[in-house]
Homo-oligomer: A and B are copies of this chain.
């Protein structure tokens, strides 16, 4: 059953080993911040630093593992109709909207949405890692290292599948940052697929 995450909000749910999570961009050019924790020990979480190191690549897609801070494979990327995601940037947050956008009364952002959704599971805000930013399009200038946040390459109906390699707690958002989604706040959809 396909679930909808309304614009600028987030959810948390369990994903069991062997299940797959399909993250869908229903309208195109939207981003979903994805974090994952070991369901049985939330001190273990996805690690951009380890995943990028072991892949020797900052852009991950089909076949690539997403490792934890203990170097276990938490998720493996399955079918991916987009092929460009970001794993460098923190979830957008009230502080980010103040610093980069100059907002006086900032939205709590994906960070605040993840913190609220994960709180019932005992995950503290400090423990929220750099997210795997599904569909986020962040080119890097190789000479200066400058990054830009460009409109996602996803079109309506595009999706990426993540296969759970252990029992997980997932946090997932419809991104709250204008720049990430070409300045139109849109929903995200997802589906948990049980095999067998």
Given A50-B90, A50-B96, A148:B56 Cβ within 8 A: yes
A70 within 8 A of B: yes
In chain A, residues 6-53, which have Cβ atoms closer than 8 Å to a Cβ of chain B? 43-44, 47-50, 52-53
Q: In angstroms, how far is the closest chain B Cβ from the Cβ of A78?
A: 19
A88 within 8 A of B: yes
A145 within 8 A of B: yes
In chain A, residues 56-84, which have Cβ atoms closer than 8 Å to a Cβ of chain B? 56-59, 69-71
A157 within 8 A of B: no
**Chain A 83-107, CB within 8 Å of chain B: the 1/0 string?**
0000011110101100110000000
A130 within 8 A of B: yes
B58/A147 in contact, CB under 8 A: yes
A119 within 8 A of B: no
Interface on chain A toward B: helix, strand, loop, or mixed SS? loop
- Please tell me which one of the listed residues B70, B95, B146 contacts residue A56 in the complex, with CB atoms under 8 A apart: B146
Given A71-B95, A99-B54, A48:B130 Cβ within 8 A: yes
B142/A57 in contact, CB under 8 A: no
Q: Which residue of B is nearest A92, CB measured?
A: B53
Please, which residues of chain B bring their CB within 8 A of the CB of A100? 53-54, 56
B58/A71 in contact, CB under 8 A: no
B126/A52 in contact, CB under 8 A: no
Given A141-B142, A144-B59, A49:B89 Cβ within 8 A: yes
Please, which residues of chain B bring their CB within 8 A of the CB of A142? 139-142
Given A52-B147, A56-B148, A88-B88, A71:B99 Cβ within 8 A: yes
Q: In angstroms, how far is the closest chain B Cβ from the Cβ of A148?
A: 7
A selection of 11 A-B contacts at a CB cut-off of 8 Å is A43-B124, A49-B90, A53-B88, A53-B90, A53-B96, A54-B99, A57-B144, A69-B126, A71-B93, A130-B130, A142-B142
